[in-house]
Structure 1
Amino acid sequence: MSILKPNYVFVLDANRKPLTPCKPSLARKLLKVGKAKVFRLYPFTLLLKKEVTEDPQPVTLKIDPGSKVTGLAILLDSSLIWVAELTHRGQAIKTSLESRRSLRRGRRSRHTRYRQARFLNRTKPKGWLAPSLRHRVETTLTWVNKLSKLAPVKTIFQELVRFDLQKIENPEISGVEYQQGVLAGYEVREYLLNKWERRCAYCSAENVPLQVEHIHPKASGGTNRISNLCLACEPCNTKKGTQDIKIFLAKKPDDLKKILAQAKRPLKDATAVNSTRWALLDGLKETGKVIITGSGGLTKFNRIRLELPKTHFFDAACVGDTPNISVLANQPLNIKATGHGSRQMCRTDKFGFPSRYVPRFKFVKGFQTGDIIKAVVTSGKKVGTYTGRVAVRSSGSFNVSAVQGLIQGINHKYCFSIHQKDGYNYGF
């Protein structure tokens, strides 16, 4: 097992000018002698008590956008000094919107609408993205801007496209020639490996050589479309031969139904990334930094060449031209998007009727739900020190989600805030 190396510490001068990040050991010395104080806990940042006139050494920010998790990495020259993994909440947003839609439809059918019907509002503006997709772009841009305020970021690398062998071999290729050449043999197989989870579609065999299989055989008029392809191990492929899948799986109707449904279903994560990559690139260009894009194939090549494990943050570090990397940090800051709550004035049951009301004022005794606090309980049954996310109550008796579990009934007098709510949960 490799030794865990913590991230470097961000440093700001007295005017909040970002300086070159420093080692954790140097940060401890600055705090011990009183030359700096903690500016923020996540990501850990120090604020010096003096102004620095010298120009800091610039750093490079690299991004590996993902459907569920985006990798972030900061490099100083060729040294990896800060890593993080940003978990999106796109699926939670989608679920919430579907719930709202069903509740509104229920009220509409009962003729209990709470607002006038709206018409002619279906035209979407140019560049429109679904809320769950727009969240991925905006959350990534939010962290790019945050890190740009904490470190002297000069260049940003983004993984933009998948590896395209044929385009590299012939940059002028296009049209049908482009779609039916070497690209079909490389990209299609990579796509199928992800879609069918690297297992045989017929017997679910794993860790065996897999072959590209036509669900409806070409001998019976089947096409090479991606929706007609799957992966099969050699025994299954040989046994099926040129039979139609309905004949081959006549005695397994459940498997037949599952395979046909999976074949029509697009690769969800790839679709989400493809839908947002250009919007993210446009947003990065507005930051005024130097933007450089790379391909997924180059990222994978760099990671394998440098013998780095498969993680989101190491993928981010390998985006673009990466001759060499000295790993000085490999313990990522885990950032999970939680949102800022709901604007509902009351909570509803499963039928859409009000079940309980929400207090108008979010702050109780100076705290709000989502703050990260430290509670030092000195008396009673819950004596101890607890650090974690707080859920406030109007009574002043709070719940704390700590490492020890959910601790209920902590009096506000024992609590003090160490990180205010910002819509994210943090951990290592």
Structure 2
Amino acid sequence: MFVLSRDGLPLMPCHPARARALLARGRAAVARHTPFTIRLKDRRRADAEVSGVELRIDPGSRGTGLALTETRSRMSPDGEAVTVRRGLVAIELRHRGPQIHQAMVRRAGYRRRRRSAGLRYRPPRFTNRVRRPGWLAPSRCAYCGASGVPLNIDHIRARARGGTDRPANLLLACVPCNQAKAARPVEDFLAHRPGRLAAVLDRLRPSLGDSAAMNATRARLILGLEGTGLPVRSWPASLTSANRTSAGLAKSHTLDALCVGPLGLGEGGAIVRRATSVYVFAATGRGSYARTTPDRYGFPRLLRPRQKRHQGFASGDLVRATVRKGRWAGVRTGRVSVRSTGRHSVATPLGRFNAAHENLLLLQRADGFTYSWRGESECGE
């Protein structure tokens, strides 16, 4: 559990049993419900001693791993003092980048549809692009080699399967091949033409989007950390991967964060403990600026209310609902989606139900994140 001092500064995290004992004795109060945090009443930060605790960060373009560790010394079987690392808390922070990207792709699709339908909208900007002298358009289908026929632009990896519009994912295909392939994987479509399949896959160079994002944010991240006044040290990603492999750990952001920094594996150092449960903090934003809800063609379908708070609640707030009768009778905790009528919708792990605002108790204001748990064994790329 997370612990704050009397003056609101972070202290050493504690076990849930220890937190319950402090709350029962009146030495602490609940400062935050999600993630659960207590605040001590009788200890300031200056009176506490926190030694050997470090925060290790493994940044990524789609997610960031954070590991709070403690470094200790112990005696090896040979009677020598070695340094070991204990993982205390593991957090996976999921960014909003993919969510924003999908929203922009959907908005671009609305624009393309309106243009192709001949509806009133601004003209496409790419009509002003110029071509170099002597440029000739390709005139051959990449799938069957047909020439002298109308050609279409086709996505090697279909957008329906996560493909993008980057040039490396685009090629020319005749109309029959384009319709026959549709959204199928190119490996299935060209399975009977291995030579043609190899030529097409050779065009699929790996995307550098994630690397570009990290190069753009690495310096800014270090600068922001140095602003805290605490000592900051950087560590190459290649050495982190080597530490993880040597320690025999699986691949995940949180385990990468645990392996950041020198381990001294050749000198008897080791990771003797890692967190079995991982906090998952997913960035969701604080709502939308849009004042209309679009239909599937991108045109306004209905107006949204200009105010975001109704009867003292805003969408995303953590509430406790007390329902006295019906299918959802009982007391449940969940996130609320507000309506101007005052009958709000509450989302819980068991489902979503409606409750009047008089039966809701505000536990925590929305902060732009959702919180959950996962086991470390459920980790992935």
Report SS of the residue matched to 1:360. Answer: coil
Superposition deviation, residue 110 in structure 1: 5.2
- The corresponding residue for 2:193 is 251
What letter is aligned with 2:370? N
Q: Tell me, which stretches of 5 or more residues in structure 2 are unaligned?
A: 72-84, 123-167, 169-189, 264-268, 374-381
Q: Deviations over 1:380-409 (max 9, x none)?
A: 23213332222111222222221112x222
Q: Which residue of 2 aligns with 1:70?
A: 64
- 1:10 matched to 2:22? The reply is no
Percent identity, please.
Answer: 36
What SS does the corresponding residue of 1:325 show, helix, strand or coil?
strand
Separation (CA, whole Å) in 1 of partners of 2:248 and 2:229: 33
Distance (Å, rounded) in 2 between the aligned partners of 1:332 and 1:300: 20
* Cα distance per residue 1:31-77 (max 9 Å; x no partner): 11121111012332111223424143143111111222211111133
CA distance in 2, matches of 1:12, 1:253: 63
Counterpart position of 2:251: 310
Match of 2:360 among 411, 415, 419: 415
* Paired position in structure 2 for 1:383: 329
Q: Which amino acid aligns with 1:395?
A: T
Q: Quote the Cα distance in structure 1 between the aligned partners of 2:325 and 2:21.
A: 34
Aligned to 1:201: none
Letter in 2 for 1:416: L
Q: CA RMSD, aligned part only?
A: 3.0
CA displacement at 1:372 relative to structure 2? 2.0
SS at match of 1:398: strand
Deviation at 1:426, TM superposition (A): 0.6
Q: Which among 4, 25, 28 is matched to residue 33 of structure 1? A: 25
2:76 maps to 1:50: no
Write out per-residue CA displacement over residues 225-278 of structure 1, whole angstroms, 9 at most, x where no aligned residue: xx9xxxxxxxxxxxxxxxxxxxx998347734641332x343543443344323
- Written as runs of structure 1 = structure 2, the 5 A alignment for 1:142-153 is none
Contact 1:249 1:256 in 2 (8 A): no
Matched, 1:372 2:365: no
Once the two structures are superposed, the pairs formed by residues 193-232 of structure 1 within 5 Å of their partners are none
Give matches, 1:263-282, under 5 Å: 264-282=205-223
Answer whether contact 2:285 2:368 (CA < 8 A) is retained: yes
2: CA distance, partners of 1:93 / 1:394: 27
* CA shift for structure 1 position 286: 2.8
Q: Specify whether residues 284 and 15 from structure 1 end up closer, same or farther in structure 2 by C-alpha distance, changes over 3 A only.
A: closer
After superposition, give the CA deviation of every residue in 1:1-24 in whole Å (9 maximum; x if it has no partner). xxxxxxxx2222222133222222
| SS across alignment from 1:290 | coil
1:112 positional shift: 5.9
1:265–1:89 distance in 2 versus 1, CA, 3 Å: same
Cα 1:112–1:310 shift into 2, 3 Å: closer
Letter of the 1:312 partner, please give it: H
Q: Give the distance between the partners of 2:19 and 2:48, measured in 1 at CA.
A: 19
Question: 1:283: how far off?
Answer: 2.8
Structure 1 residues 249 and 80: alpha-carbon distance in aligned structure 2, compared to 1, 3 A threshold: closer
Q: One-letter code of the match for 2:23?
A: L
Q: Which is bigger in relative contact order (C-alpha 8 A, separation at least 6)?
A: 1
Counterpart for residue 335 of structure 1 = 281
The answer to whether the Cα contact below 8 Å between 2:320 and 2:334 also exists between their aligned partners in 1 is: yes
| 1:277-356 → structure 2 map (5 Å cutoff) | 277-322=218-263, 323-327=269-273, 329-356=275-302
Is the contact between residue 328 and residue 353 of structure 2 (CA under 8 Å) also seen in structure 1? Answer: no
CA 341–305 in structure 1, closer or farther in 2 if over 3 Å, else same: same
Q: Secondary structure at the match of 2:277?
A: coil
Aligned-partner residue type, residue 366 of structure 1: G
Deviation at 1:336, TM superposition (A): 0.8
Relative to its length, the structure with more helix (as a share) is: 1
Q: Contact 1:387–1:403 at 8 Å: present in 2 too? A: no
1:82-93 mapped onto 2 (5 Å cutoff): 82-93=89-100
Secondary structure class of the residue paired with 1:341: coil
Change (3 A) 1:92 1:297: same
The Cα shift of 1:92 comes to: 1.6
**Stretches of structure 1 lacking an aligned partner (at least 5 in a row):** 1-8, 114-226, 228-247
Distance 2:192 2:3 in 1: 66
Q: Distance in 2 between matches of 1:353 and 1:249?
A: 41
Deviation at 1:321, TM superposition (A): 1.3
Is this contact kept in 1: 2:30–2:38, CA < 8 A?
yes
**1:328 shift after superposition:** 5.6
Q: What is the TM-score with the length of structure 1 in the denominator?
A: 0.60
Secondary structure at 1:38's aligned position in 2? Answer: strand
Count matched residues.
286
Which secondary structure state, in structure 1, belongs to the residue aligned with residue 261 of structure 2?
coil
**C-alpha distance in structure 1 between counterparts of 2:196 and 2:337, whole Å:** 46
